[in-house]
Structure 1
């Protein structure tokens, strides 16, 4: 994030900001870059985990969520007050290359993770450790269940833009990892970097105060004799060997700024982003205050579900009939098939229901395909097909309830997801997960794991998250004004499915121990029942496999 090398040039212009435990009735106003905070906390927790092997170093979402809330509380104890925590609600089309580059980077780290390390060696360099795939939405979920719930906003754009806007209007302190915030027009605002807080903030309550480097862009521009940091940053992009003062001199010596600098400066200029603190910009359109994950929000915006917003970017204003969604790189075996094969049925249904309120068309999912990131086209569904898919889902949920009558709802969700993992493997002629791996996965085992366990875990998570996407699309559709183009039968069927989807698993419960996990024999029995049920499903013949490959998106009727 930010212009490579620019921060090192700005470092000499840092001043010191003091945080102290005091009864001052004017606390420091803190504006938090949410995605940056999530990744910072993950890094801090990995360093502190003392894990004995690489896979066990992957912390739970529950632990990351708790650590995030605790860290903010500790910072507030030093006379700080969290004013807002912004999360990206959708990136513009111009960010597509950056998005794909990030996915490719994550995939390369995963490939390196497997190629160079044994699972049972000690944890290795943090910079090459694969990140938690659902890190940011898990942190959002945790914050919404905390005292910070009213400070969380999912914005129709990028978080840093909204951080800059609020800092410009309030003179607050932006907490971030993105050096671009120094270039933004933030008025009298200040920028503090999370890594500096990580170094200087006491790990316990023994210290009554601490100081961190901070950056005040308006003060830096005055010292350099320029009117905006964009002038200096633009010159730096032309010649990164220059000092900041040399960049300022070059900017001042130009007779005219020209079109190039105008284009460069445009994203950094102060503009009138919404700075209200509703949980999500979608409240303008929905009857309920619903929070969805950033990637779902972006999909809904690009699909024209909230047609008056559409990301507020000019290049978005022409709606895309073929919308994109970017699936995270899961912690799987990169030499095996993509785990996102599992659960595609749920996602297809979710996309189709969401687009009942937007523009019609298919969806292109970007995810790992072999050792590369590629796009997979998923057809949309007609209303009769939506009805059929909803009814099939309800039938399968009812079937699971009958198979496991004594289990709690969360455990039924887990068993249903594992059933879909198995059905997907059967439909593709692949070997089922071992009974031992399924039982260990339900128990939350972290010892004695192998790459087959890791692959099964990734497929299981893919189905769980696909259900989450479906639920969020259902919730948004159900809270939108009624559309005359949707038939009454379709509306009724969707409402019935919404009822059946309550309550979904939270991210904090992904791979967590079951509520009944103290009874290991319970999972042994449950997996036995599941495998017996799957025995009635026949693998596809060669002819049926060829027929399925000949379609863009074949229906999978064997149990799905």
Structure 2
């Protein structure tokens, strides 16, 4: 979270220079948010995952072009228990940001909001700030940038997902080897960096000679100027700044010479910076260490919990948590994560079968309204039930692929839509996905991207990411566990850069008349009295309609009239 006013307090002691020829390590989460900041500054409030990845690679290429030696890029792979309250606060803040975003324009947005304004690449190093308030971040932008780095031969070996916090690993690297850390987190000024220094990402700019100029915070130099003898003393100085945000530097230095008023609070403060928390690596049922290096950060957090012991009982933890990213969805509707719960339930079950332990549920945190809110309990399936569910998935996908003439991306879209509609049918709930399919396949012109449509896309994104979670859990699976067909099916799962977006989903809907998407979904969902060859008729809307009425609507839907124009082009025309 950083320490308020610490940077401004230490600014008089910065050293101005260039990054050219320097050895650096990079705080990965800070880099991911800085790349998003660059895109926002360029006028792209909702950049695609492809654009985010390309911008991250271009930014790093500029460093390499100026002989900057990037030695490592660290990403968080574990959430220390002491940081859970901070995570909950951030989840509440993100949900409130989504609510504010929704209330700012309940009628939706013009399509330009979700597309690239022009072909000009973003200015990578600039002091210009984005116009207006920051938009809701894309849900999976951190793992999307990690993917781009992992898939790039130039940078794949530099990416390290660590069983702790990235800033601690950056600090340890500098303490042992020297160099500079690139970050946005003022907390790194408090760590023991040895002879290392800190450069903040937003302070890097191109000077008149095209050098990467920056302001560098050197721990050793700051300690020398403030007459602080060690990293422990700069930790005390930072603590006093946190306690007294308006004191002058001489007052803070004077406070450092006095006994600490709150010894317990000071000890807790120092512990974060001087004692780095590293989660133990779980061991599989075969006795081999679990490899977390290829996982997404929040998925890694959950996996590392599966093998942890409770300090009091010495038993494996029974309160395993996963914090699902906030989706760009309509906050007045139910969470778009709900309908894809069975996919994640299978993923959690495979994780539990792979890593032995006593926990029988996973707590999912989706929308967090208060910091004391409990997660949604998702029970672990019996092994045979998990295998039956996996077999059902692979059979359904095989049937869908047989109708899509080798179009794998379309097959994944249809599978996710089918599972979504089927879940609502089995739970006796109204299907927003089914309603949206019916409505959008009949429209020929759209002035705005509505929140109903945005919520529809969120359903698709939630299902895709649930399959990504499942794929990553299967990557940990031990030989002969019994899911080979499911593994094969997931090999074709699109990358995050190819995930459903507002723009490409409109193209999918535009083409769905010809591809008979609606008809395929109707055939795959076990709804009674469905005649997919009946010509679609308009069904009266009734929010309180019963399941039988939903079935009637489905039966009457049939094959919707094919759109004659690209829907996104139509939207752009009206903007």
Fold agreement, TM-score > 0.5: yes
Shift of 1:177: 0.5
Structure 2 CA distance, aligned partners of 1:246 and 1:394?
67
Q: Name the counterpart of 1:555.
A: none
Q: Name the counterpart of 1:241.
A: 246
Q: Which TM-score applies when normalising by structure 1?
A: 0.80
User: Would the alpha carbon gap of residues 248 and 296 (structure 1) be closer, same or farther in structure 2, given more than 3 Å must change?
Assistant: same
Shift of 1:259: 4.9
1:527 and 2:517 are equivalent in the alignment: yes
User: Would the alpha carbon gap of residues 233 and 371 (structure 1) be closer, same or farther in structure 2, given more than 3 Å must change?
Assistant: closer
Q: Which TM-score applies when normalising by structure 2?
A: 0.78
Contact in 2 for aligned 1:30/1:82 (Cα 8 Å): yes
Q: Name the counterpart of 1:261.
A: 266
Contact in 1 for aligned 2:25/2:179 (Cα 8 Å): yes
User: What does 1:105-116 align with in structure 2 at a 5 Å threshold?
Assistant: 105-116=93-104
SS at 1:10 equivalent: helix
Shift of 1:440: 11
Contact in 1 for aligned 2:14/2:216 (Cα 8 Å): yes
Contact in 2 for aligned 1:37/1:176 (Cα 8 Å): yes
Q: Alpha carbon RMSD of aligned pairs, Å?
A: 3.5
SS at 1:364 equivalent: strand
Q: Name the counterpart of 1:554.
A: none
Contact in 2 for aligned 1:235/1:250 (Cα 8 Å): yes
Q: Deviations over 1:532-551 (max 9, x none)?
A: 32575259xx9x99xxxxxx
Q: Deviations over 1:189-245 (max 9, x none)?
A: 110001112xx236xxx7432421110112111111122310101112222221233
Shift of 1:403: 3.3
Contact in 2 for aligned 1:338/1:370 (Cα 8 Å): no
1:291 and 2:281 are equivalent in the alignment: no
**Pick aligned residue for 1:328 from 310, 325, 328:** 325
Q: Deviations over 1:367-422 (max 9, x none)?
A: 12789965210111111221222122222222212333x03222211211122222
1:70 and 2:38 are equivalent in the alignment: no
Structure 2 CA distance, aligned partners of 1:62 and 1:109?
24
Contact in 2 for aligned 1:109/1:128 (Cα 8 Å): no
User: Would the alpha carbon gap of residues 413 and 365 (structure 1) be closer, same or farther in structure 2, given more than 3 Å must change?
Assistant: same
SS at 1:136 equivalent: helix
Q: Name the counterpart of 2:218.
A: 216
Mean CA deviation greater in 74-83 or 144-153: 74-83
Structure 1 CA distance, aligned partners of 2:73 and 2:248?
34
Structure 2 CA distance, aligned partners of 1:43 and 1:370?
26
SS at 1:434 equivalent: helix
Contact in 2 for aligned 1:337/1:370 (Cα 8 Å): no
SS at 2:367 equivalent: strand
- Which residues of structure 2 form unaligned runs of 5+? 114-129, 530-543, 548-575
User: Would the alpha carbon gap of residues 126 and 67 (structure 1) be closer, same or farther in structure 2, given more than 3 Å must change?
Assistant: farther
Mean CA deviation greater in 208-217 or 247-256: 247-256
**Equivalences, count:** 499
Q: Deviations over 1:489-509 (max 9, x none)?
A: xx23x2232122222211000
SS at 1:153 equivalent: strand
- Which residues of structure 1 form unaligned runs of 5+? 21-26, 52-56, 275-279, 483-487, 546-560
Structure 1 CA distance, aligned partners of 2:28 and 2:357?
30
SS at 1:330 equivalent: coil
Structure 1 CA distance, aligned partners of 2:252 and 2:506?
63
Structure 2 CA distance, aligned partners of 1:370 and 1:101?
9
Shift of 1:326: 0.4
Shift of 1:59: 1.1
Structure 2 CA distance, aligned partners of 1:260 and 1:39?
30
Shift of 1:270: 6.7
Q: Name the counterpart of 1:367.
A: 366
User: Would the alpha carbon gap of residues 437 and 95 (structure 1) be closer, same or farther in structure 2, given more than 3 Å must change?
Assistant: farther
Q: Name the counterpart of 2:175.
A: 168
Contact in 2 for aligned 1:84/1:153 (Cα 8 Å): yes
**Pick aligned residue for 1:158 from 165, 187, 194:** 165
Q: Name the counterpart of 1:509.
A: 498
Q: Deviations over 1:134-167 (max 9, x none)?
A: 0110000000111100000000000000000001
User: Would the alpha carbon gap of residues 317 and 106 (structure 1) be closer, same or farther in structure 2, given more than 3 Å must change?
Assistant: farther
1:33 and 2:27 are equivalent in the alignment: yes
1:79 and 2:84 are equivalent in the alignment: no
SS at 2:55 equivalent: helix
User: Would the alpha carbon gap of residues 371 and 287 (structure 1) be closer, same or farther in structure 2, given more than 3 Å must change?
Assistant: closer
Q: Name the counterpart of 1:346.
A: 343
1:355 and 2:352 are equivalent in the alignment: yes
Q: Name the counterpart of 2:391.
A: 391
1:252 and 2:257 are equivalent in the alignment: yes
User: Would the alpha carbon gap of residues 79 and 440 (structure 1) be closer, same or farther in structure 2, given more than 3 Å must change?
Assistant: farther
Shift of 1:15: 1.6
Mean CA deviation greater in 160-169 or 527-536: 527-536
Shift of 1:520: 5.0
Contact in 2 for aligned 1:364/1:376 (Cα 8 Å): yes
